[in-house]
Amino acid sequence: MDLNRVLRNYISGQWVEAENSGFLNVENPSTGEVLTQVPLSTASELNRAVSSAKTAFWEWSRMPVAQRCELLSNLTNKIYDNREEIARLISKEMGKSLPDARAEVKRVIENCQVANSMHSLIQGDILTDVSPGIDGEVIRTPIGVFGAITPFNFPAMVPFWFLPYALTTGNTFIVKPSERTPMTMQMIFEMIDSCGFPPGVVNLVNGDKQVAQAMLEHPDITGISFVGTSEVCRIVAETCSRTGKRFQAFGSAKNYLVIMPDAKMDEAVRNMLTSCLGCAGQRCMAASVIACVGDDVYKKIVADVVTTAKMVKVGNPLDPELTNEALVIGPVISARAKERIEHLIRVGIDEGAKLALDGRGIKVKGGEKGHFLGPTILVDAKPGMTVEKTEIFGPVIIMMKFNSLDEVIQAINNHRYGNGASIYTQNGYYARKFKLETKVGMIGINIGIPAPVAYLPFGGTKDSLYADIKTQGKDIINFFTERKIITERYWPEQ
């Protein structure tokens, strides 16, 4: 992949120079180096992609599902063979550590593997003799053109929450990657281009919110999958409802880690720090609140978390000295993101939280123009503080003390977000109570990042998810197919 070339769109099976209103620089957030330029495509450029996808739909939807899966299998193999190159590009343009980037590519492959079983997953149901001589049948059929608007933090994985399932169910697809991390999809689409997909089946349109808005408004796009902030999720939901589209909109989070007095403390601390600080906190499953039950637990965990966090290394994830480190805090995505995080830290202090560890002003050799923040810990926070209510999306840990598990569950349930939460305990009663009573979509028991594998659905509740259908696995098939219910009978020939 030529990183010095201005990025292009992929429409109707061809790489094309984008009709655009200008370009944005794509920078390495570790160094500030400009890596390439991404075009700000226009609505008319999107129209070309939609027209191509719409034309390709009929032939693609009638292709036997095994043949569709075979083409996806070709792509899966290419991604697997190039997995290290993809991971390094993710680290370069997004800033996450190589272990985190490798795990992201692994999840891409897992989703492809699940979708490659579509000939089994898409099977319908039949009930004979619902009445004398009458049978009832449910079949799943593809619907049309779908689109995904994806975020910067998982430039490979998030598009593949949707793309493999859309294609193998017989739909055609358009991806708009984040304009901040568009190179990963460019590389993967070069692999797509060599797999033999018919022209128009899968398309790539680069751009910013102008393209995203055009996708929401386009009458020939059947459904939209979106990942971003809850505020934008609401816009996506309202616009898609108005324009008659299906939609999935995965939003913000404020994930709690709850630690009980009986927990395995040393194991829990290591696990919690990986959850809170991995990807520099820039993931929807990152934990950002550590909730301790009881005074003794709080004192010990605060001391241990602060001591251990001081030892976490901060730097360019592609620095040869850091590439094999299990936990490295890379940069946040931009100078603007860094300013926002630092502002929220100041707000937390102003509202009464105490700064136990300050990661602001950290210096990284060779990263003077990078956007680095070290681990930052605010203690004695309370429910309702801005830092407790807000998704910070940075390496900032909020530590809180509660008197009982019931109090913690109430705080989680009162929160506007309901993405995920975890509890550390060896007590089956506590674990069962937590998983049954806590109002979030994904629960962890002694697991800091309760993100399910690709075979299981992924998604939150409350303001973390504007949708009825989650992503991944069998669940998402309902999003990409129409269930037709057939009632039939035949009289004997005379």
pLDDT value at position 5? Answer: 75
SS3 call for 343: helix
Beta-carbon contacts of 26 under 8 Å, excluding residues fewer than 6 positions away, are: 7, 34, 35, 36, 37, 38, 93, 179, 180, 181, 182, 183
For residues 235 and 265, membership in a common domain is answered with no
459 in a domain, yes or no? Answer: no
Structure tokens at 211: 């393209």
Q: What is the pLDDT of residues 255-279, one digit of tens each?
A: 999 999 999 999 999 999 999 999 9
- Catalytic annotation on 284? yes
Residue 65 within any structural domain of the chain: yes
Taking Cα atoms as reference points, which of 374, 427, 401, 372 lies closest to residue 289? 401
pLDDT of residue 4: 56
Specify if 481 maps to a domain.
yes
Based on the fold, state whether residues 238 and 266 are members of the same structural domain: no
Does 424 share its domain with 472?
no
- Are both 224 and 278 inside the same structural domain? no
211 and 315 part of one domain: no
pLDDT for 494: 83
- Is there a single domain that holds both residue 366 and residue 390? yes
Residue 386, domain extent: 255-445
**What pLDDT score was predicted for residue 99?**
95
Query: In a 3-state reduction of DSSP, which class is residue 19?
Result: coil
The per-residue pLDDT of the chain, averaged, comes to 96
Number of domains in the chain: 2
Distances, alpha carbon 96 to alpha carbons 315, 319, 446, 483, in Å: 10, 12, 24, 40
Q: Is residue 455 in a domain? A: no
CATH value at residue 216? 3.40.605.10
Confirm whether 291 is domain-assigned: yes
414 part of a folded domain: yes
Secondary structure (DSSP) of 365-416? TT-TTS-----EEEES--TTSHHHHS---SSEEEEEEESSHHHHHHHHHHSS
Of these residues, 233, 240, 276, 284, which one is catalytic? 284
DSSP of 145-187? EEEEE--SS-TTTGGGGTHHHHHHTT-EEEEE--TTS-HHHHH
Q: Same domain, yes or no, for 297 and 221?
A: no
Decide if pLDDT at 23 tops 70: yes
- Classify residue 123: in a domain, yes or no: yes
CA 414 to chain centre: 24
| Within-domain flag for 184 | yes
Q: What is the CATH number of the domain that holds 395?
A: 3.40.309.10
Query: Is 228 in the same domain as 290?
Result: no
Answer whether 0.85 is exceeded by the pTM: yes
Same domain, 48 and 113: yes
**Residue 475: CB atoms within 10 Å:** 16
pLDDT at 2 over 90: no
* DSSP 8-class letter at 11: E
Residues in the chain: 494
Taking alpha carbons only, the member of 12, 370, 18, 2 closest to residue 179 is 18
Same structural domain, 218 and 95: yes
**349 shares its domain with 425:** yes
Whole-number Å distance between alpha carbons of 126 and 436: 34
The CA-atom distances, in angstroms, between 383 and each of 33, 290, 394, 421 are 40, 12, 19, 15
Residue 328 banded pLDDT, cuts 50, 70, 90: very high
Write out pLDDT tens, residues 82-126: 999 999 999 999 999 999 999 999 999 999 999 999 999 999 999
Sign of the torsion angle spanned by Cα atoms 395, 399, 404, 406:
negative
Based on the domain organization, do 37 and 49 belong to the same domain? yes
The confidence band for 325, taking pLDDT boundaries of 50, 70 and 90, is confident
